[in-house]
């Protein structure tokens, strides 16, 4: 049996549309720190320092998103933080300063992540100064 899909070339009009759509995308680079648990028993000892670290970076506009992860059953894992940084080295320096990392509770991997698409909705109600992010 011969798989015809491997022999077909993409239609030039389709490829032009792909390029047009890609040109519209945000293409914003970020750096994603994915934590892996080493010693969960050590985490409570530095939880306050970790929160101060992450909130400080948030206030300095160095974090896009951050938070814990869990599996399908709800068992907690470590977490993910997406940094705003100019280089791997800057992102790694911020990650190395995470008290969870420096205290040996977690290790991490760093990857460059290019944000292309998605939607963030912000709703501000002036009457009660409330905000909803979805």
d(CA 61, CA 59): 5
Burial class (CB in 10 A: 0-12, 13-18, 19+), 117: exposed
**Cβ atoms within 10 A of the Cβ of 74, count?**
6
pTM over 0.95: no
- Give tens-digit pLDDT for 55-100: 999 999 999 999 999 999 998 888 999 999 999 999 999 999 999 9
- Give tens-digit pLDDT for 2-44: 555 556 788 988 988 888 888 877 778 899 999 999 999 999 9
């Amino acid at each position: 049996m011969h798989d015809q899909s491997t022999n077909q070339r993409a239609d030039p009009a389709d490829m032009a549309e792909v390029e047009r759509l890609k040109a519209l995308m945000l293409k914003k680079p970020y750096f994603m720190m994915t934590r892996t648990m080493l010693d969960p028993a050590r985490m409570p000892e530095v939880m306050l320092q970790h929160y101060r670290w992450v909130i400080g970076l948030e206030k300095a506009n160095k974090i896009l998103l951050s938070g814990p992860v869990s599996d399908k059953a709800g068992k907690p894992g470590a977490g993910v933080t997406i940094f705003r940084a100019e280089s791997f080295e800057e992102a790694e320096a911020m990650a190395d300063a995470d008290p969870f990392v420096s205290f040996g509770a977690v290790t991490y991997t760093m990857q460059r992540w290019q944000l292309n698409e998605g939607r963030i909705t912000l709703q501000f109600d002036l009457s009660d100064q409330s905000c909803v992010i979805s």
